[in-house]
Structure formats: structure tokens, C-alpha cells
Amino acid sequence: MVVLTSTETLFGGLLAVAALFTISNRLGLSNYWSGVLGGALPFLAYLGYSAVVWQGGDMIAIHLAVFMATAAVMGVFGAIRKNKEKMHWVPKLIGTFFAGLVVFNAVLLSISSHGLPDKLSGKFLPNPENQRLHTAFPGVVPHDKNKLYEEHMQRIEDQRQLGWKVDVAGLDDLRSNTPSSVTVKVLDADGKPLTLDVAELIIWRMANSGDDRHVRLSATSVGEYGGQLELPNPGRWLVKVSLSRGEDAFQLNRTLFVDEPAAQK
């Protein structure tokens, strides 16, 4: 099944509203019934599509409002044209308002789905780290992640006393939907390779806990652990490197920026 973006369903539905209204009107239906059919049929079709590809309740509300408002405005304009009346400035203003509203909603939907074009984001948005900005809307923030920073702060003193030296390689060049190797090297306070009981990566997006990843690392040599990591979406992620030996535990938290695959740039 072809998966459509919300922008495509919105503009495609608008074209369907206009076509159905025009056809119904020419077949002899009144402007009222032409508007009802023009607005209702595309929305019912979108409801059927949403039952298979769910885009969210907010998308259903937006499509309903835009389709029905467009059909209503076309009905008003059709009645005025049919009666050959001179159009008052108020209907013109209403029509202009709804047309602008549709365009504005479409722009917001496009930005939320795909982000701003690179030229606009690079010119108007701050980027002190000089990284590629990912401006698409990632979703809401799960509240269960808010305690992690507090937990991290409580362990800082214990980790300082351990004196472990941890080096992580392979995270800086990650691309979405592309498997990559990640290596963690661990030395004790004396600079000697450290044998661990557990070495793992815990990666999450603050926006969507469904994207979280948990990767168990395997020993490749003394003090060195590796594994494969693949993240589904570009943007900013949080990474926790979790290491333990006996009762000793060490955690390293950092932010991670994942770029898009090279072919999509």
C-alpha cells in the first residue's frame, strides 16, 4: 500500500473537494448538496485511509475542518455566481481567509513532517555546534525520562572515585537506517584494560520512547567491547553507556546527532 504524507492527503483531498463540487453542480445538484458531497466524500475516504495508516486524531480534525470549510466557501461563491449578484467584500474576505488558512496549515504540516529546508534552517536558526539541524517535529516527551538526569547526578561522585577511563568510538558518524559499529574501551584508574561483567548502550529519543534501543556489547579483546547499532530516524538522541563489574557501576551520558543517509541528502 502506498503511504501518503499528511500534506499529500490534505492537498489531494482539496482537489477532490473542488472536483466533486464542480461535477455535482453541473449535474444539476444545488450548491448546498454539491457542497455536502464535495466535503463529505473526500473526508470519508480519508477516514478509510486513516483506518489503515493512522496519522493521528489531530490530522483527522484538520482534514475535516479544511474539507468542510472549503466546500462551504465554494457553496457560497457558487450561489452568488448563480444569482449573478455582485460579490460583497465580506465573502471575498472570508474566502481569502480560508485560502490563506489552508496554505498556512499545509506549510506547518510539511515542516512538521520533513523539517525546514537546509538553507532556511541554516540561515535563521542558531547552531553553535555547526551541525546539520533536524527541524521536523519528533513528537511529545515521555515524562518517565525526566528522572534520568537526577539519577545521573547522584552517581557522579561514585564514578569519580572509581577513576575508570572510558572511550567510545563510532557514535559521531551514525546515519539513520544504517548499521554501524560502536566500540567502547575501558581502563581502570591505573590505565590497565578492565574486564567487565556487563557493557551496554541504551539509546532513546526524548520524543518517542518507541524508538528506544538497547544494545548489549560483546568483548572483542581485553578492555574492549563492541556491537552493531542502527537508529531509525535522524535527529538528536540521548545515549547512556552503562558498564558494570561486580558492585561497581559506571555510566556515561551524552547527546548524539544522527544524520540522514547520504542518498537522501
What is the rounded CA–CA span in Å between residue 209 and residue 205?
6
**Contacts of the segment 159-163: beta carbons below 8 A, 24+ positions apart:** 159/250, 159/251, 162/189, 162/248, 162/250, 163/188, 163/189
96, 114, 132: which is the final residue of a domain? 114
E strand residue ranges, the chain:
165-169, 180-187, 198-205, 208-216, 218-221, 224-229, 235-245, 248-258
Whether residue 259 lies inside any domain: the answer is: yes
133: confidence class by pLDDT, cuts 50, 70, 90? low
Whether residue 126 lies inside any domain: the answer is: no
pLDDT tens, position by position, 107-123: 776 676 666 666 776 67
Residues 21, 85 share a domain: yes
114, 132, 158: which is the final residue of a domain? 114
265: confidence class by pLDDT, cuts 50, 70, 90? very low
Compare 106 and 198 and report the one with higher pLDDT: 198
Residues 167, 208 share a domain: yes
What is the rounded CA–CA span in Å between residue 42 and residue 21?
11
Whether residue 102 lies inside any domain: the answer is: yes
Residues 154, 89 share a domain: no
Name the DSSP letter for residue 144: G
- Structural domain of 63: 6-114
User: 258, 235 in Cβ contact below 8 A?
Assistant: yes
Closest CA to 35 of 87, 82, 103: 82
For residue 115, the number of C-alpha atoms closer than 13 Å in the C-beta half-sphere is 19
Element (H, E) at 98: helix 89-114
- Parallel, antiparallel, or unpaired for β 218-221 and 235-245? unpaired
Compare 124 and 256 and report the one with higher pLDDT: 256
Whether residue 202 lies inside any domain: the answer is: yes
User: 226, 184 in Cβ contact below 8 A?
Assistant: yes
Q: How many domains does the chain have?
A: 2
Cα 247 off chain centre by: 39
Whether residue 161 lies inside any domain: the answer is: yes
Residues 81, 36 share a domain: yes
Average pLDDT score over residue span 161-169 = 89
Q: What is the CA radius of gyration of the chain?
A: 27
Whether residue 219 lies inside any domain: the answer is: yes
Would the pTM count as exceeding 0.85? no
Whether residue 137 lies inside any domain: the answer is: no
Average pLDDT score over residue span 207-216 = 80
What is the rounded CA–CA span in Å between residue 145 and residue 232?
20
pLDDT tens, position by position, 179-208: 889 999 999 989 999 999 999 999 887 666
Residues 62, 163 share a domain: no
Read off the amino acid at residue 237: W
pLDDT of residue 68: 87
Torsion 154-157-163-165 (CA) sign: positive
Closest CA to 230 of 157, 177, 160, 186: 177
Whether residue 133 lies inside any domain: the answer is: no
Residues 160, 105 share a domain: no
- Classified as helix, coil or strand, 218 is strand
Grid coordinates given for 60: 483527522
